[in-house]
Structure 1
């Protein structure tokens, strides 16, 4: 069918409730949700409820943002159907082969690859912002020895904000960062300084969470090493001197950092923008991003993928495991992606890295199981029909394990480079010439309509209630049982009645 080109592309919509026709402009293959809101009908004429707010305009219902664009961005482009990922127009494959993490970070942040002098200044600034306040080290020591490193990292970023009151809009005025959009150089200096601080200190905070788990003293940042080289030093240096990480491992980690630096408006980046729209300080913004990344459906997926491979054990167990997956008795981790309906381009780049790392560390014992699972994915109609191909988490976990990182540290290795992507999107948000509007999604209310308060003596239990309609019974430890059997007076001087 031939497509007629129009001078003013638009969408013509007829509301069959009213017979009215609306013409909605199409820009960048999208229509404004506020234009949809112009489509109105009289309330009460279509079996609607007052809570549907029919006369206030049509709403777009899109659970989990399956097809909703929330920002206009110039940072990262993804084409999930064709397996394309580009940073500022540059294919991820080229950056992994030719660039390094800090150069790619500059690209994501400012839009162009840096000149030699720009790169030198950028690197020097970041590497001189690696130290953290000694009181933040004390904060790490307050955690239990078995705390998850990602919990510590999330808390550390939030804590770091308390050490930068000059960068807090709640203290310095809500336009502290948004004034930069109009060319206020002082505002822009404060904004970019926080970016340097966070990128510089992220490896130091991450390493502190690792050393805390190991029961080892914290290292101080080293001078003269690369960004990832310094990170490995912070993690691993013991009592020696002139520490140098293995160049293959350093290069591999740097490449993984490039691959993980950004991925458009994913769950954690959307969280960063949601929180950032309140104009809170960037440390709180990054802490919120860490909290979102922590989840097993996001940054925790590489850890979950390795645990799955460990459970499968050996290649001969793959068919049996996949039989359970196809019966929906088990969840397959490390395959498929919310956006990619083709091969994840990041997984292709990581697959090549894996071989380089294994040549140094030895072959990962789980690799044969992983390759068998990947082959199954290529040959299985069940997998192909659902576009289930290995994603970035599948191979990155194998590399991390080969490099000797503990499973619960994988999300932290994701968070350190992703700080760059988060901050690039946050910076773009703050520099929006139109200003920053607080994000406030709508809902479709399906609950009870208006009803009148019922006195306690007149209330009756709902015969149709389920297990979800009241708190489940909570079991308590032995000390609670003993206390409930004891007698003593409460703060009012009355005998305390135990709960039995």
Structure 2
């Protein structure tokens, strides 16, 4: 119990537990409080359920991490109210204008912009780790012709781990990477080698998923080109020699890669850290990040934004569509952000890129619709009151479409550069001098209390049951119907005709 002075300002939070009349003083550091400090606030169970575990201390309930900081990081700073995004202190606008993707990757992972010699070594290492094992190419060929490229990419990263057993803590030792935090050079070398492998091979894997969908043979990486130039080469070269992507498209893609390289602890980065906290290999970590990025509420949003614009069709259809949005009959994609309550600084940088790309590809037919939609949103009280401004997905999809990428490839174009951000956060976690604690969020249990098992003959259906309380009826194809009508015997000799496909 603390004695509280009302006159002396200090960095702490005073909490009065009205259940016990006890007063607690919680320290404030970096404008945050330690969640475990609230475990000290305990009370005897009163009207609480046993499952509330009241005597074990107060828990913090924060659905979807709306206001929970899970790490201390030196990598990316975001101010959502003012629309600020900085990598290691450098404003994103400056990096897009003056830097390139590989230089920015070095900055994100290692903390400083590289010197000339550091950059040369870094670039050479990354670009000499871009070949993939021929068996991984075979894995791509095993997919259906219409598989989503992001599904293939996710599988490919997971598969890569099987080709590097020396990089797997389950085989090479649990502390394979965490030993690097104490200065173990061998551990640090193997950690950084996997970073080079993943960044180097990411474009090759992504291009393989694209070529697989196109029914085209895989290209081999081309040395001498830039990171994004080589990526475009892997995607597009058909025959001939001295293939060179258009410089405007190469530069625009490089800038988009910078913009997409990191975005603090978003859904996929949180997934990477969650999975990485188990000390699994980094290839599995990146595969998990890809799976999270795949979702339409995250990396799939640019694809969804273009589909929305295609549905709207033309500028004159915007008011009618927005009326449906305001009546909550439709979802507006490409506007608003979980963090930004002002203009997304990435969308500002991308808007300028769009004009450069359109100058060589021709004006995207959906641009007028997009601009009309953005103007309508700017004037709409409904949008302003909800801080809904165009985000990064709104314009990036227009650029990707103008460059000729198919819609389902957009998340892959997001995943390739985001590997850098994921690896920067993963490396930071592995190098934590305090060690790596496995992430294990708490829950608030609101289900049934303890009850006795009921024998099958005595069970009754739940009263007032809803459609959520039992499996829904699953339709089956015609071949399943035929099989159901046929007769056969199972392994025990009993008649069996219920096989489903």
Smaller-chain TM-score range?
over 0.9
Structure 2 matches for 1:55-94, cutoff 5 A?
55-94=55-94
Q: Which residue is equivalent to 1:148? A: 148
- Please report how far the alpha carbon of residue 494 of structure 1 lies from its aligned counterpart in structure 2 after TM superposition: 2.0
1:442 aligns with 2:442: yes
Structure 2 matches for 1:288-303, cutoff 5 A?
288-303=288-303
1:456 aligns with 2:462: no
- Please report how far the alpha carbon of residue 4 of structure 1 lies from its aligned counterpart in structure 2 after TM superposition: 7.6
**For residues 5 and 330 of structure 1, do their structure 2 counterparts lie closer, same or farther at Cα, with a shift above 3 Å needed?**
farther
1:195-224 per-position Cα deviation (integer Å, ceiling 9, x unaligned): 000000000000000000000000000010
8 Å contact from structure 2 (residues 483, 499) kept in 1:
no
Q: Which residue is equivalent to 1:26? A: 28
User: Structure 1 CA distance, aligned partners of 2:183 and 2:407?
Assistant: 45
Q: Which residue is equivalent to 1:276? A: 276
Aligned residue among 11, 15, 24 for 1:13: 15
User: Structure 2 CA distance, aligned partners of 1:460 and 1:335?
Assistant: 48
- Please report how far the alpha carbon of residue 466 of structure 1 lies from its aligned counterpart in structure 2 after TM superposition: 0.2
Q: Which residue is equivalent to 1:248? A: 248
1:100-157 per-position Cα deviation (integer Å, ceiling 9, x unaligned): 0000000000000000000000000000000000000000000000000000000000
User: Structure 2 CA distance, aligned partners of 1:75 and 1:149?
Assistant: 29
Tell me the TM-score normalized by structure 2: 0.98
Q: Which residue is equivalent to 1:184? A: 184
User: Structure 1 CA distance, aligned partners of 2:453 and 2:345?
Assistant: 57
1:379 aligns with 2:398: no
User: Structure 1 CA distance, aligned partners of 2:147 and 2:488?
Assistant: 36
Q: Which residue is equivalent to 2:3? A: none
User: Structure 1 CA distance, aligned partners of 2:252 and 2:476?
Assistant: 48
**Secondary structure at 1:132 match in 2:** coil
Where structure 2 has 5 or more consecutive residues not aligned to the other structure, the ranges are 1-5
8 Å contact from structure 2 (residues 483, 497) kept in 1:
no
- Please report how far the alpha carbon of residue 48 of structure 1 lies from its aligned counterpart in structure 2 after TM superposition: 0.8
Q: Which residue is equivalent to 1:394? A: 394
- Please report how far the alpha carbon of residue 496 of structure 1 lies from its aligned counterpart in structure 2 after TM superposition: 2.4
**Secondary structure at 2:23 match in 1:** strand
Q: Which residue is equivalent to 2:333? A: 333
User: Structure 2 CA distance, aligned partners of 1:224 and 1:498?
Assistant: 60
1:279-313 per-position Cα deviation (integer Å, ceiling 9, x unaligned): 00000000000000000000000000000000000
Q: Which residue is equivalent to 2:322? A: 322
User: Structure 1 CA distance, aligned partners of 2:343 and 2:110?
Assistant: 29
Q: Which residue is equivalent to 2:429? A: 429
- Please report how far the alpha carbon of residue 467 of structure 1 lies from its aligned counterpart in structure 2 after TM superposition: 0.2
- Please report how far the alpha carbon of residue 486 of structure 1 lies from its aligned counterpart in structure 2 after TM superposition: 1.7
User: Structure 2 CA distance, aligned partners of 1:275 and 1:25?
Assistant: 30
1:458-500 per-position Cα deviation (integer Å, ceiling 9, x unaligned): 0011121100000011111122112222222210112226599
User: Structure 2 CA distance, aligned partners of 1:68 and 1:488?
Assistant: 57
User: Structure 1 CA distance, aligned partners of 2:165 and 2:105?
Assistant: 26
User: Structure 1 CA distance, aligned partners of 2:458 and 2:410?
Assistant: 55
User: Structure 2 CA distance, aligned partners of 1:286 and 1:153?
Assistant: 10
Where structure 1 has 5 or more consecutive residues not aligned to the other structure, the ranges are none
1:47-80 per-position Cα deviation (integer Å, ceiling 9, x unaligned): 2100000000000000000000000000000000
User: Structure 2 CA distance, aligned partners of 1:205 and 1:300?
Assistant: 18
- Please report how far the alpha carbon of residue 25 of structure 1 lies from its aligned counterpart in structure 2 after TM superposition: 0.3
1:9-68 per-position Cα deviation (integer Å, ceiling 9, x unaligned): 10000000110000000000000000011111101x1x2100000000000000000000
1:292-335 per-position Cα deviation (integer Å, ceiling 9, x unaligned): 00000000000000000000000000000000000000000000
Q: Which residue is equivalent to 1:311? A: 311
**Secondary structure at 1:447 match in 2:** coil
User: Structure 1 CA distance, aligned partners of 2:377 and 2:498?
Assistant: 58
Q: How many residues align?
A: 495
1:425-475 per-position Cα deviation (integer Å, ceiling 9, x unaligned): 000000000000000000010000000000000001112110000001111
| C-alpha RMSD over aligned residues | 1.2
User: Structure 1 CA distance, aligned partners of 2:443 and 2:158?
Assistant: 30
**Secondary structure at 1:191 match in 2:** helix
Structure 2 matches for 1:336-355, cutoff 5 A?
336-355=336-355
User: Structure 2 CA distance, aligned partners of 1:490 and 1:240?
Assistant: 59
- Please report how far the alpha carbon of residue 5 of structure 1 lies from its aligned counterpart in structure 2 after TM superposition: 7.3
**Secondary structure at 1:13 match in 2:** strand
User: Structure 2 CA distance, aligned partners of 1:172 and 1:356?
Assistant: 49
Larger mean CA deviation between 467-476 and 483-492 belongs to 483-492
